[in-house]
């Protein structure tokens, strides 16, 4: 019985000591700004890798970090901010799984669509088809769409500008 108390006493002693032991190395904490910088750098590499793996020759990266490639030139009016446009979009994740296809009418610069879409459609000509890669912060953002688009997902849009109304 004395042995049982000794073992029990040692366990209590060890448990008490374990609570007071401080870690030898403190966990490194990364502030939010640095975390976002790291994520954006990873996303840039992901987009760059997508361009290379799909051999998208002639694709151009703009100052926003979006990539665009005109697939079929247009011959109609050029869309500008403030114009009402009718466009068709097919949306993909970067693993090439389809998110959806739709046709929409929006007022460029004012409608509630992805910021990257406003920028991508602006400058397109009626009839033009364009492939666009949009970083997550200009697409569906931190939350995704809570359905088919996961959080922080860059997207590929295959766009076709149908009509421009002034």
DSSP 4-18: HHHHHHHHHHHHHHH
88-124: pLDDT as tens digits: 999 999 999 999 999 999 999 998 999 999 999 999 9
Domains in the chain: how many in total?
1
Please indicate, yes or no, if residue 79 is contained in any of the structural domains.
yes
Please indicate, yes or no, if residue 153 is contained in any of the structural domains.
yes
Report the distance separating Cα 130 and Cα 58, nearest Å.
12
Please indicate, yes or no, if residue 11 is contained in any of the structural domains.
no
The reported pTM is: 0.79
Please indicate, yes or no, if residue 66 is contained in any of the structural domains.
yes
Nearest to 129 by CA among 157, 91, 95: 157
27-83: pLDDT as tens digits: 567 788 898 889 899 999 999 999 999 999 999 999 999 999 999 999 999 999 999
Report the distance separating Cα 61 and Cα 72, nearest Å.
18
Please indicate, yes or no, if residue 8 is contained in any of the structural domains.
no
Please indicate, yes or no, if residue 150 is contained in any of the structural domains.
yes
Q: Say which CATH number the domain at 139 has.
A: 3.10.50.40
Quote the domain boundaries for residue 51.
32-165
Please indicate, yes or no, if residue 26 is contained in any of the structural domains.
no
């Amino acid at each position: 019985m004395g042995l049982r108390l000794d073992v029990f006493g040692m366990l209590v002693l060890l448990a008490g000591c374990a609570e007071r032991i401080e870690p030898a190395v403190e966990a490194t904490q990364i502030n939010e700004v640095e975390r976002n910088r790291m994520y954006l750098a990873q996303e840039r590499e992901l987009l760059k890798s997508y361009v290379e793996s799909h051999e998208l020759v002639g694709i151009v990266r703009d100052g926003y970090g979006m990539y665009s490639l005109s697939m079929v030139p247009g011959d109609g009016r050029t869309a500008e901010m403030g114009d009402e446009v009718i466009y068709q979009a097919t949306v993909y994740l970067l693993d090439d799984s389809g998110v959806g296809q739709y046709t929409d009418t929006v007022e460029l610069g004012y409608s509630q669509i992805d910021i990257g879409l406003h920028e991508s459609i602006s400058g397109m000509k009626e009839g033009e088809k364009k492939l666009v890669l949009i970083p997550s912060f200009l697409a569906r953002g931190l939350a995704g769409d809570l359905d088919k688009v996961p959080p922080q997902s860059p997207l590929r849009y295959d766009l076709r500008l149908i009509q421009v109304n002034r």
